[in-house]
């Protein structure tokens, strides 16, 4: 597939992303212990309330202990700023006190919205462990903007990233229709892969990508960022501890506001092109499908769904709304709703509720927003996009997972088969909505 077919699309330019020095205060240390991804089963039952309080106090920007670094590095994406220090070692000085070879060489394919808002800031935060060495995008300026703070190579040819021997892992942040070719080529080049969700547009494509990485012996991590978000880590830990007994029902709603100037889901953007876009089921609901499986730890048996086109500018009628209900083999029922036409300025994106035989858990954006601003025009919530939708610490945890899997020569904790299973469930929901009938599944339980 030609690179021109794999552009990320025109999005607002990114601003300054700062990597601030973290301190090891007692509260940050305790929150790190409570939120550590691998500590769920070991946490004390009474930690649940404490973790919630600490999370609110420290905000969603709190980092686990192993993300605390001694260096303060400032990165700028999109414009020059006085006093900004580049993390690049190409001028002969490594800011972390080591050498360039001490850091994992990264490539980036796709320099659009998700790269600017999530992956590039994650790399900046981990600049003492990773170094971006090449960035590719059909938009030459987007590639140059991503590469500039690192003095990295910028190119419009994504295959040039794979030709570099100093790159060991590649972050693929292109649209899903580019993933099969780019993941297979990256694996064939012997490089590890962090690929944005959804893994692909079809289960057959996902299977081919998984097989390609297995043959090449490279790590393949699919970026389901919700598994690295603090609230969902706390929920999984509480379920593992049995805090609410046997899980019987769960619901996750994702409601996104329309933009003041609508770009997504229109002919101006690839998400509005039915030839390449999987619509809301793959762009959004893939997260909900994954969370329902992960929290139940059960196999989905049947799904019922409804879909719609709700955005007036969505003239090609790409699906931008989906509601689905899943019955699991344990008898648990999970449901989700994905909406992309909430009013501009709508302050929340996610509302999660879980009900068990002995208790319930609720995690709603409204309760996690740390700042409310009141003016004569009413109340608004500055920073909700960064804090709630593209939660930057989640992407740091995600990238750290790949880095440590490579360094420790261990499997990634979320195998690509889990991303495949989420894709299968999301596609089954689409099939149900289009047919008007429930769809039976025979998948395996999530670990």
130 vs 133: CA distance, rounded Å: 9
Give the class (CATH, top level) of 3-226: alpha beta
Burial 27-57 (b: 16+ CB within 10 A, else e): ebebbbbbbbbebbeebeeebbeebbebbee
Give Cα 156 distance to the centre of its chain. Answer: 24
353 vs 330: CA distance, rounded Å: 18
Residue 190 exposure: Cα atoms within 13 Å on the Cβ side: 5
| Tokens 């979320």 belong to residue | 414
Nearest to 179 by CA among 157, 210, 155, 151: 210
pLDDT in tens, 170-228: 999 999 999 999 999 999 999 999 999 999 999 999 999 999 999 999 999 999 999 99
Burial 427-440 (b: 16+ CB within 10 A, else e): bbbbebbeeeebbe
383 vs 390: CA distance, rounded Å: 10
Q: Identify the helix (H) or strand (E) that includes residue 144.
A: helix 140-147
Domains of the chain, by residue range, sit at 3-226, 244-391+412-440
The reply to whether the predicted model has a pTM over 0.85 is no
381 vs 393: CA distance, rounded Å: 19
DSSP state, residue 153: E
Domain 244-391+412-440: CATH superfamily, name plus number? Dihydrodipicolinate Reductase; domain 2 (3.30.360.10)
pLDDT band, residue 6 (cuts 50/70/90)? low
pLDDT in tens, 253-298: 988 887 767 788 888 888 889 899 999 999 999 999 999 999 999 9
CA distance from start to end of the chain: 35
pLDDT score of 368 more than 70: no
110 vs 148: CA distance, rounded Å: 15
Q: Looking at residues 53-74, what average pLDDT do you find?
A: 32
pLDDT in tens, 298-345: 999 999 999 999 988 898 999 999 999 999 999 999 999 999 888 877
**Phi and psi, residue 109, nearest 5°:** -115, 115
Helices (H), 312-415: 365-368, 384, 392-408
pLDDT in tens, 13-61: 332 222 223 333 343 344 344 344 343 333 333 333 333 333 333 333 3
Q: Is the peptide bond before 7 cis (omega within 30 degrees of 0)?
A: no
Which string of DSSP letters, residue by residue, matches 264-319?
TTSTTSGGG-TTT--HHHHHTHHHHHHHHHHHHTS-EEEEEEEEE---TT-TT---
| Tokens 């990295």 belong to residue | 152
């Amino acid at each position: 597939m030609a690179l021109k077919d794999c552009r990320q699309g025109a999005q607002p330019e990114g601003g300054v992303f700062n990597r601030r020095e973290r301190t090891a205060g007692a509260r940050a240390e305790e929150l790190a212990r409570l939120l550590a991804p691998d500590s769920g089963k070991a946490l004390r039952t009474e930690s649940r309330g404490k973790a919630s309080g600490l999370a609110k106090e420290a905000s969603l920007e709190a980092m686990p202990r192993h993300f605390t670094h001694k260096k303060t590095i400032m990165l700028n994406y999109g414009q020059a700023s006085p006093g900004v220090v580049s993390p690049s070692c190409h001028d002969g000085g490594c800011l972390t006190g080591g050498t360039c070879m001490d850091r994992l060489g990264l490539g980036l394919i796709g320099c659009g919205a998700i790269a600017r808002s999530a992956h590039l800031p994650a790399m900046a935060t981990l600049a003492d462990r990773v170094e971006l060495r090449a960035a590719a995008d059909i938009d030459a300026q987007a590639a140059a903007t991503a590469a500039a703070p690192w003095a990295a190579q910028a190119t419009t040819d994504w295959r040039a990233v794979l030709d570099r021997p100093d790159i060991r892992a590649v972050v693929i942040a292109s649209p899903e229709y580019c993933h099969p070719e780019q993941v297979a080529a990256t694996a064939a080049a012997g490089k590890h892969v962090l690929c944005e969700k959804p893994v692909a547009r079809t289960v057959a494509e996902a299977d081919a990508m998984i097989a390609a990485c297995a043959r090449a012996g490279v790590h393949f991590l699919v970026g389901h960022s919700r598994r690295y978000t603090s609230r969902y880590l706390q929920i999984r830990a509480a379920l593992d501890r049995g805090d609410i007994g046997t899980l019987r029902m769960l619901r996750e709603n994702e409601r996104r506001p329309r933009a003041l100037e609508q770009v997504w889901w229109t002919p101006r953007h690839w998400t509005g092109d039915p030839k390449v876009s999987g619509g809301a089921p793959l762009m959004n609901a893939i997260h909900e499908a994954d969370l329902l499986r992960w929290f139940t730890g059960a196999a989905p048996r049947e799904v019922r769904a409804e879909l719609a086109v709700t955005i007036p500018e969505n003239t090609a009628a790409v699906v931008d709304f989906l509601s689905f209900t899943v019955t699991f083999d344990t008898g648990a029922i999970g449901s989700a709703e994905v909406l992309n036409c909430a009013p501009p300025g709508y302050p929340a994106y996610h509302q999660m509720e879980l009900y068990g035989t002995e208790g319930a858990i609720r995690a709603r954006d409204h309760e996690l927003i740390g700042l409310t601003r009141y003016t004569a025009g009413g109340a608004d919530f500055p920073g909700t996009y960064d804090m709630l939708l593209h939660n930057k610490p989640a992407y740091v945890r995600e990238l750290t997972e790949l880095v440590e899997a490579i360094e420790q020569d261990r499997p990634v904790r979320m195998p690509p088969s889990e991303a495949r299973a989420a894709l299968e469930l999301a596609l089954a929901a689409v099939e149900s909505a289009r047919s008007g009938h429930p769809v039976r599944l025979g998948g395996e339980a999530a670990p």
